[in-house]
Amino acid sequence: MLPFLYAAWSDRHLSVPEIQALRKEADALDFLSTEDRGVLMEWSNPVHPPSRERFQQWLTSGRQAAETLPEDKPASLAELAVLLGLSAEEAPEEKHAYWAGQLAALRQLEEGLGGVREDTYRSLFPRYDQREKLFEAIREGSVAPADLQAVLDGEHAAVIQRVKNILLRPSFERSTLRIKEDYREQVLRWCKELAQEGIGALSYPVAYGGQDSMDDYAAAFETIAYHDLSLAIKFGVQFGLWGGAVYNLGTKRHHDRYLHATGTLELPGCFAMTETGHGSNVRGLETTAVYDPEHRELIVHSPSVEAGKEYIGNAMHARMAAVFCQLIVDGESHGVHAVVVPIRGQDGLTLPGIRVEDNGYKMGLNGVDNGRLWFDSVRVPVENLLDKYGGIQEDGSYSSPIESPTRRFFTMLGTLVGGRVFVPRAGLSAAKSALTIAVRYGLRRRQFPSESMRSETIIMDYPNQQRRLIPLVAKAYAVQFGLDHLLDRYVRRTEEQMREIEAMAAGLKSYATWFATAAIQECREATGGKGYLAENRFAALKGDTDIFTTFEGDNTVLMQLLAKSLLTEFKKSFQEDGNFAVLKFIGRRVGTIVTEQNPYTVRQTDREHLEGRGFYLAAFQFRARRLVSTLGSRLRAYIKGGMSSYQAGLLCQTHMIEAAEAYVELLVLEASLKRVDDRRPTNQAAQDSADDVTRVLEKTILLYAMHTIEQHRGWYLESDYISGQKSKAVRKLVDKLCAELRPEVGALVDGFGIPDELLGAPIAR
Amino acid sequence: MLPFLYAAWSDRHLSVPEIQALRKEADALDFLSTEDRGVLMEWSNPVHPPSRERFQQWLTSGRQAAETLPEDKPASLAELAVLLGLSAEEAPEEKHAYWAGQLAALRQLEEGLGGVREDTYRSLFPRYDQREKLFEAIREGSVAPADLQAVLDGEHAAVIQRVKNILLRPSFERSTLRIKEDYREQVLRWCKELAQEGIGALSYPVAYGGQDSMDDYAAAFETIAYHDLSLAIKFGVQFGLWGGAVYNLGTKRHHDRYLHATGTLELPGCFAMTETGHGSNVRGLETTAVYDPEHRELIVHSPSVEAGKEYIGNAMHARMAAVFCQLIVDGESHGVHAVVVPIRGQDGLTLPGIRVEDNGYKMGLNGVDNGRLWFDSVRVPVENLLDKYGGIQEDGSYSSPIESPTRRFFTMLGTLVGGRVFVPRAGLSAAKSALTIAVRYGLRRRQFPSESMRSETIIMDYPNQQRRLIPLVAKAYAVQFGLDHLLDRYVRRTEEQMREIEAMAAGLKSYATWFATAAIQECREATGGKGYLAENRFAALKGDTDIFTTFEGDNTVLMQLLAKSLLTEFKKSFQEDGNFAVLKFIGRRVGTIVTEQNPYTVRQTDREHLEGRGFYLAAFQFRARRLVSTLGSRLRAYIKGGMSSYQAGLLCQTHMIEAAEAYVELLVLEASLKRVDDRRPTNQAAQDSADDVTRVLEKTILLYAMHTIEQHRGWYLESDYISGQKSKAVRKLVDKLCAELRPEVGALVDGFGIPDELLGAPIAR
């Protein structure tokens, strides 16, 4: 009887016909005892509704009974009552006929109550609810995850799938390896398996076992990052950093000697650049390589403890190291060069003169063997100098194709910018994993009974939860489009584009990794205590990616690099075009006419206006342009006032970072809008479905734009670019867009295409 | 010779007399070879200054040589050159006289160069630099850390020192215990040692081995949190949650039976409230305790898997559990009550009907044994019901001193609010640890050569680094003052103040734990790769505290609780005083006349105005009042428009959280200002020193206020409370305050009084 009482009262008030139905039909039910019948009459008295405690008790008993129910959901409450009745019997088989006979009476009762609402049913029997609700969430949305995935994966779908298939093998199953040595061994084994499949060498020339495809390598790398970030980083160190140094800084001699064995991981190597005393300051490295003309050898030496190579990935497994040091020939230093130094023999033991120290446990990435390295006058043949940009001639003299030491230094460093193109992709993969877990959990988890006690509301229906997660999902899409644009530019780069691409990479690396840190944190908090359990992945995602904002260049330093490069470009455009360049800069670059701060626009708050690019794209452009131009003016004013340019730069650090961020955001928005625009003409065939996908993507990017403007609303208000009313209108639009995307959010995260097995988290299943 | 060349060139240009001095004196130096002399002449040619690479090389060689130098710093560069010369000899003793003879010539050279600047000297020999710089930083400031510590510790200084002394014992030394079982055993041992010293029972009555001091217990708890957060939490679970349930919900019978053994940890217990299916919704708990009148027993039962007790601290070590469940007497539910259920025997084995499951690894706190608990019709005597607020009579009927089940529920829950008073203190301790490590590191670490190549700038001198850390240090002070105020109110509470104190605790718990999460993250990033190493503590601080925003009530839920309570009070004041109450609310509470948005004030940007309470305190009050009043209006409008109050509440979630935050910030600011004001009259004795401390504290709190207004500048601008110009002026003032507090920041973090041994991090030493 309990389900009926619960159902009846869950609408809070019983109508007179309902009460009549309840009382009348209850009379017809043989299985009720006299006592039960009395209780029922009393409880169905509308003057004395059951207490809250009583109600809770029914719910509890109902759920308890439901534990014994079959997997498949019965068609009606009546049938369910029969099943419950049967399951309460000592020998249910014998009573089957009896209970079947009750079905009709129960059905009448159910009808008398005006039918039982689906959500009442579900709240009473949560076991039927979960799958139901999931199904419902997907049905509500207008797009299929596969269509979104097709957009994100693009032309790399094949290699992504290929890597996923490898990662889904039993050999890649995760286990809790708390001791770093165990974990490192596992990661090394995984890395070898990937190498055997040719994944590590994807970017190398075909002659060395590769496929000459940097794109595919990038796609593989970001896919590996779904599985395990230690694996992704070790993979990147071996094939990207060590292999990349050999490939980009070395010449054919080095390629022939090392590249094939690097791709197969027969020759594990490391990339020894950073020193303890010099984090972000590569130019100031203290390790020396002194040329000894007599033996035609280089003597690699760490002059002090602080000059030790710090945080070197693969340090405990590597047999080779690409060591960055000041090259000294005939008493003269020629600046930073890389030298290949064998550090371990085939037997795995360190060679003479090499000292290695384990970095120990870290906040995360404990599957990566980071260590410190010192060299005590280690001699290597001069051929070990990676000499593409500077080498030692037969006659013992130094020569370089690039005369200026500064240009040489930046050219060499520029070839290593790949790390900054790849790391943000791994960060984004981690953010996508976190968002998928948190959103799926939010679509299942309930909290607090809603007012009608019908069911606890699913978390994702709380506006606050939508606000927490949906803008982050939108930003993940936008950031991916931005990173895709960067990758494309990087892969197809020419020599003269390098400075721009380096600046872009510096900015996007910072933006994407800061986003990853923030998104993962928000997801952990949004999943409460469940999110804190290691099994649900946030611990690893958070701990592993936390260093991304630091390595491959500290974000705050990188953002200042970008700002300086923007200033240079700004000055250039200024000199070329006279005063108007100030306005044209960036404006010209994006090819859009900027609507300026006229008093009408500043106050315009209708949705049509806000959703138009004339507002939001212009707002992004305005911010980027204004922050760079005011930065330039401020620096000039300080210097004119007698300050050194160094001091002036220090004072403007925060301004620089803000200007760089504005530029990156504009870049991300433009890349995203272009991806949306590009979809329009090409999808004539499957127009309907394509239109839905385009529409959802458009709204997603719009949310990214509005949310970004909202975050900077202090600045926009200060700059009189928007009025207070307009700022509020933007906030309301963000709320609205979150609500409108709520039905799509399941598909949006499923569109990331992360297999359940790689996701791992039980709360996401 | 190198030190001299470096010194001479580090000023970038040599004057003609300097060059003459260099060349002339070099002639007099016997130890220079002819070749050396030639090089020197060439390099001292102002037309061809040495290249950047050469310069770097000098620096490197100089530093390398300096590795062999004595600990104590020589008095001059000349003496240093002699020492270097000596250390380069095969048999230095024999050459001593010779080198001593060179001293005069070298001194003349040094004078010829116009003396060598202290910072040149230091950059060349960093080993002498570190201690020097540290000393300098402390010398620059105007306050002694001990004076600040005296303010923070207040009257709890003795117990804090007592606990520190225990924690500094060798038995408390930290070790890397990666396997949870090992770590848990260690934490249990530590907990027992603290219990043996009477620290666990501090808050219990003297009759049960305690000292009847909740204050001292709080001070002990937050001190333990400096050492190890797992220990702090386990300590809190045993003595605060389990012991607190017995003490607050039980009667003398229970106190006599359990309290003494709880305080000594002879009886480990746990607090079993949360269920898997009901995170923040305590009222909806499904575990039942059904009274069996025949045996005078309670049958404690988990009706479903989801009704299992989740995340129970001490679950693997506890012998007792305070189980929260729906009490059912004679078929009727009386709502949530707590029952003491033995879960393990003396032998440590679980008792019949009890199922325990380890929660496994978590993001942090792996020294705490969290687990899940299920009860399968477990029978306990009715005496085990903790019956202060509701019990079962001899005749088997239920009775309670509080008739209304709702009031009873909230009264019972209210006694458990202690957790929300304590957890934020542990969070704050973790934030203080992180800030101390990051600031000390920032005061030592250098990065990039400054323009003159004289030395790399210490990180803390970068405005960006100051911006990152100093406002957080200021906020730590403000939050402590806020938490002290809460603790004081809590300890001295009366029955009728409970609702207000609960609301306050909910808000401050959220505010302080969110602050801890953000501060620790910022500190990790501000220390770069070093901060990522486990040895430097951030991994533990971050991982351990991350759950603080969730447990003892999810922050977003707690903030909504606070907002609802503010609304109630707001409505009350509205009814009492008519329409004017809208303006008086909060304004009245703080007893300050609020200066409103007049067009002049909105635009006033002079520092004197900004630094006056008439601006910043009024701004805090305005925000708190306005957000509550607009929240009320919005809710009323929605409900008037036909929406249910539940739906209306959902729509206003974000608004609620903002209103609650504004209230907490006002509370924190007021408590802080009061602490500063209270210092003024009482410190006549040592006026000078006291004034400095007061001045620094005042500036610190001013920074907290300005930084908070800056963070909400979007809102203030939207509300036309400040103009764009004024908003910019606030930002500049924050910059300025950071710079002004820069010399004090070392003392400010040292004032937290965390012993080096508890801090642990090598980078902080």
Give one DSSP letter per residue of A549-613, joined into a string. GTTTS-HHHHHHHHHHHHHHHHHHHHHHHGGGHHHHTTHHHHT-PPP---HHHHH---HHHHTSH
Counting residues of chain A whose pLDDT is more than 90, the rounded percentage is: 67
- The answer, for A463 touching chain B at a CB cutoff of 8 Å, is yes
- Count of H helices and E strands in chain A? 35, 14
The pLDDT value given to residue B116: 53
Closest by Cβ to A525, choosing from B304, B550, B720: B550
- The answer, for B670 touching chain A at a CB cutoff of 8 Å, is no
Which residue has tokens 């982050």?
A: A472
CA distances from B643 to A12, A120, B210, B628, B647 (A): 17, 21, 53, 20, 6
The pLDDT value given to residue A589: 41
B383 versus B278: which is more confidently predicted?
Answer: B383
Q: CB neighbours of B246 closer than 8 A, spacing ≥ 6?
A: B254, B255, B258, B259, B262, B269, B322, B340, B386
Q: CB neighbours of A294 closer than 8 A, spacing ≥ 6?
A: none
The mean pLDDT values, 10 residues at a time, for chain A of 765 residues are: 52 54 66 66 58 59 58 61 65 69 70 56 49 40 93 96 98 96 98 98 97 96 98 98 96 98 98 84 91 97 94 97 97 96 96 97 98 98 97 95 92 87 98 98 69 61 93 98 97 90 96 98 96 97 97 94 91 58 44 52 88 95 94 92 88 95 98 93 54 94 98 95 94 95 96 97 93
The pLDDT value given to residue B304: 93
Could you give the CA distance from residue B127 to residue B72 in angstroms, rounded to a whole number? 10
Closest by Cβ to A67, choosing from B304, B457, B529: B304
CB of B193 closer than 8 Å to CB of B171: yes
Tell me the shortest Cα–Cα distance from A126 to chain B, in angstroms.
10
Range 178-207 of B in CB contact (< 8 A) with A? 178-180
Which residue has tokens 């360049």?
A: A581
Q: Write phi, then psi, for A51 (nearest 5 degrees).
A: -70, 165
Ranges of H-type helices in A236-272: 243-249, 252-254, 260-263
Sorted by where each begins, the domain ranges of chain A are: 2-130, 178-416, 420-750
A650 contacts in chain B (CB < 8 Å): 457, 461-463
The pLDDT value given to residue A135: 33
* Beta-carbon separation of B550 and A528 below 8 A: yes
CATH superfamily of the domain spanning A178-416: Butyryl-CoA Dehydrogenase, subunit A, domain 2 (2.40.110.10)
- CA quadruple A144, A145, A146, A147: dihedral positive or negative? positive
Residue in chain B closest to A336 (alpha carbons) equals B53
A364 contacts in chain B (CB < 8 Å): 532, 539
Could you give the CA distance from residue B699 to residue B403 in angstroms, rounded to a whole number? 52
Mean pLDDT of the B471-490 span: 97
pLDDT-derived band at B583, boundaries 50, 70, 90: very low
Pairing status of strand A320-329 against strand A288-292 = parallel
Instruction: Please tell me whether residue B506 adopts helix, strand or coil conformation.
Output: helix
For domain A420-750, give its CATH number from 3.40.50.2020, 1.20.140.10, 1.10.10.60, 1.10.10.10: 1.20.140.10
The pLDDT value given to residue A572: 78
* Beta-carbon separation of B542 and A546 below 8 A: yes
N-to-C CA span, chain A: 33
Structure tokens at B340: 């003491």
The residue type of A281 is: N
Pairing status of strand B288-292 against strand B320-329 = parallel
Could you give the CA distance from residue A439 to residue A470 in angstroms, rounded to a whole number? 8
The pLDDT value given to residue B734: 97
Could you give the CA distance from residue A742 to residue B473 in angstroms, rounded to a whole number? 39
Instruction: Please tell me whether residue B272 adopts helix, strand or coil conformation.
Output: strand
- Name the class of domain B177-219+226-409: mainly beta
Ranges of H-type helices in A67-116: 77-88, 96-112
Residue in chain B closest to A710 (alpha carbons) equals B714
B99 versus A664: which is more confidently predicted?
Answer: A664
Q: CB neighbours of B252 closer than 8 A, spacing ≥ 6?
A: none
The pLDDT value given to residue A495: 85
The pLDDT value given to residue B722: 94
pLDDT-derived band at B496, boundaries 50, 70, 90: confident
Could you give the CA distance from residue B247 to residue B233 in angstroms, rounded to a whole number? 19
Mean pLDDT of the B215-243 span: 97
Ranges of H-type helices in B29-95: 34-43, 52-66, 77-88
Tell me the shortest Cα–Cα distance from B93 to chain A, in angstroms.
25
Structure tokens at A47: 């003057």
Question: Is the pLDDT score of B42 beyond 70?
Answer: no
Mean pLDDT lowest among A370-384, B315-329, B595-609: B595-609
B4 versus A405: which is more confidently predicted?
Answer: A405
- The answer, for A657 touching chain B at a CB cutoff of 8 Å, is yes
The pLDDT value given to residue A691: 84
The pLDDT value given to residue A496: 86
Structure tokens at B550: 């969730």
CA distances from A470 to A667, B164, B362, B392, B549 (A): 21, 46, 26, 50, 21
Mean pLDDT of the B661-673 span: 98
The pLDDT value given to residue A177: 96
B707 contacts in chain A (CB < 8 Å): none
Closest by Cβ to A653, choosing from B463, B533, B724: B463
N-to-C CA span, chain B: 34
- The answer, for B286 touching chain A at a CB cutoff of 8 Å, is yes
* Beta-carbon separation of B717 and A727 below 8 A: yes
